[in-house]
């Protein structure tokens, strides 16, 4: 049980530190039209290989009370994509 708690604490600490560091890099929002915008944001994160840069790109389409966002992120350890409504 002690070993699991140590792993969880280490992961939680890295996640908190990544959030604080990434918060220092504001996103750049680029309005393309009344209904579409692109956002670019740099960041830093802690992973198994230590501190590494990350880059995030997203596009959002707005219609009425709804919006749809597609995002892409790149870090030293790989890529990720996300989608939200």
Q: Which two tokens stand for residue 11?
A: 């992961």
Task: List beta partners, residue 30.
Answer: 38
User: Residue 33: pLDDT band by 50, 70, 90 thresholds?
Assistant: very high
With 70 as the cut, is the pLDDT of residue 57 above it? Answer: yes
> How much is the pLDDT for 39?
92
pLDDT at 8 over 80: no
Q: What does the pLDDT average to over 46-61?
A: 79
3-state class of 12 per DSSP? helix
Residue 72: is its pLDDT beyond 80?
A: yes
The pTM is what? 0.60
Give the pLDDT band (50/70/90) at residue 14: low
Q: Label residue 75 exposed, middle or buried (CB < 10 Å: 0-12, 13-18, 19+).
A: middle
């Amino acid at each position: 049980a002690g070993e699991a708690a140590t792993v969880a604490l280490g992961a939680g600490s890295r996640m908190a530190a990544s959030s604080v560091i990434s918060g220092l890099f504001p996103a750049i929002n680029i309005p393309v039209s009344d209904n579409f915008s692109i956002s670019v944001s740099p960041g830093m994160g802690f992973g198994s290989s230590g501190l590494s840069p990350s880059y995030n790109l997203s596009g959002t389409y707005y219609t009425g009370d709804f919006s749809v966002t597609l995002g892409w992120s790149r870090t030293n350890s790989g890529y990720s994509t996300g989608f939200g409504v």
